[in-house]
Amino acid sequence: MPRTQLGGPAPVVMALILACTLAPLRAEAGRSAFLFVYDTEIVPEGDVELEQWWWSESRIPRNTEGRPNGRPAWYWIWSAPVIGLSNHLELALPFQIFATSTSTTLEQFSAEAYYRFYSREKEGGFQPLVRLSYHHAIRRGAPSTVQPSTVETDVVLGFGKPNALHLVVNASAEVSLPWPEGDAPLPRPFLLPSVSGGVSYPLVPGGELRLSAEALAEFQVSSQSTSIDFPRYFVGGALSWTRGRVWITAGTMVGLTGLSSASPPFIPRLLWAVAL
């Protein structure tokens, strides 16, 4: 049998991954120890980070009252270059893919700006941040899955250094826009307010390995219909690891189905990034 020849791009890619993993440098990426709670760390000025989020919502079984909110599992991939425009401002340009067990489609393109009131070089104390994003909807499908384009804003307040005890709270609102129009009527306008909070703590000195816990509550206000998909309540936790210019956060949210049957039982999520 012919011997396998070593060469080509694969060894180069593996070498780059190994170099990033073993690099002793302090992480400079806009890392986050949380699954859904936005944090106040941003990418340094002039740097670019490749960031991805992978997550799914588990199947929601129909409850005993026959309320028609049962559905199969859903899956998403969010991918973006994240650009440090200054020590106060970060820009992300993501696209998002949505999938079920039978189909996969491009769901939306977005533009997201994160403004940190104090320079990223100032750590500790209170750190306010504002996030503003536009989500342009692309996905077309069944009436239960079609969504319009939206504008979203978040107010984030962090306290404490990322490599010590760190607290974060979020308040968010997402508002529907009148486009794109689909074949099925959509409940417009709607407002999706949410509140969340989290706490993280380093398991080793330097903050390379952090454990976090968080809670999330999501609601919907619509002028045209009463949603059966909200409210949703979750609690969960994650483990995050940082090494050099790479960070990874993985964990799961657990739906409080006793408070609302619209909450999926589980939302596992993986976030990872490499600073280029």
Residues ≥6 apart with Cβ < 8 Å to 7: none
Q: Going residue by residue through the chain (276 aa), what tens digit of pLDDT does each one get?
A: 444 343 444 454 444 444 444 444 444 557 899 999 999 999 999 999 999 999 999 998 876 454 556 788 999 999 999 999 999 999 999 999 999 988 899 999 999 999 999 998 888 899 999 999 999 988 655 444 567 889 999 999 999 998 899 999 999 999 988 766 554 455 556 778 999 999 999 998 877 999 999 999 999 886 555 556 889 999 999 999 999 889 999 999 999 998 988 899 999 999 999 998
Which residue ranges form the domains of the chain, and what is each CATH number?
26-275 (2.40.160.40)
Cα separations (Å) of 211 from 9, 240, 253?
A: 36, 6, 14
**What are residue 52's DSSP bridge partners?**
79, 272
Does this model's pTM top 0.75? My answer is yes
Contact between 152 and 174 under an 8 Å Cβ cutoff? The reply is yes
**Beta strands 266-275; 246-255: pairing state:** antiparallel
Residues ≥6 apart with Cβ < 8 Å to 264: 57, 58, 59, 60, 232, 255
> Helix or strand or coil: residue 74?
strand
The pLDDT tens digits of the residues spanning 38-70 come to 999 999 999 999 999 999 999 988 764 545 567
